[in-house]
């Protein structure tokens, strides 16, 4: 299945090396050759479950749900964004916005949170909060 995601094309396919379904970035393919063997068909439902069930292009199966607190200034914009089809958002009494996002591989989600700076705080799970904190600490060390 070809997937267009964030201005890039990916081929969702079975990896012959690992035996798992995953997305391959078309712009990173260095060598392509036509094989005589017939490709193995994969049900669309299986692709959707294994590749698109959680946040991001390299998502995999849902491992956890991120609970994010968005400050009132950024909430007006982030509340209108679709980070994932299964996300759940809720306005808070103080004007902030709480967003729950299912995710598997946290790499892209951490990057998206960091891109928002102080506007987004990870409330749960602690493991995701720790990853964001580590990245922020490392970035701050570059300016010491």
pLDDT in tens, 49-101: 666 666 666 656 778 999 999 999 999 999 999 888 889 999 999 999 999 99
The rounded percent of the chain whose pLDDT value lies above 70 is: 90
Q: Sheet containing 8-14: which strands, arranged edge to edge?
A: 2-5, 8-14, 21-25
Strand partners, 101: 66
Q: How confident is the model at residue 46 (pLDDT cuts 50, 70, 90)?
A: confident
Instruction: State the virtual CA torsion across 11, 29, 6, 18 in degrees, nearest 10.
Output: 50
What's the pLDDT at 113? 96
Report long-range pairs for 115-118 (Cβ below 8 Å, ≥24 apart).
116/70, 116/74, 116/78, 118/71
**Beta strands 8-14; 97-103: pairing state:** unpaired
Asked if residues 77 and 28 have their Cβ atoms less than 8 Å apart, the reply is no
Backbone φ and ψ of 71, nearest 5°: -65, 160
pLDDT value, residue 127? 97
Q: What is the mean pLDDT of the chain?
A: 86
């Amino acid at each position: 299945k070809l997937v267009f995601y964030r201005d890039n094309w990916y081929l969702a396919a079975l990896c012959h090396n690992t035996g798992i379904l995953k997305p391959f970035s078309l712009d990173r393919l260095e060598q392509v050759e036509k094989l005589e063997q017939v490709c193995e068909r994969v049900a669309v439902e299986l692709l959707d479950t294994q590749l698109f069930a959680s946040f991001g292009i390299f998502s995999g199966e849902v491992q956890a749900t991120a609970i994010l607190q968005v400050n009132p200034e950024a909430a007006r914009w982030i509340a209108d964004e679709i980070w994932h089809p299964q996300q759940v958002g809720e306005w808070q009494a103080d004007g902030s916005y709480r967003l729950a996002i299912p995710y598997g591989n946290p790499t892209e989600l951490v990057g998206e949170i960091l891109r928002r700076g102080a506007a987004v705080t990870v409330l749960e799970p602690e493991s995701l909060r720790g990853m964001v904190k580590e990245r922020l600490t490392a970035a701050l060390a570059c300016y010491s």
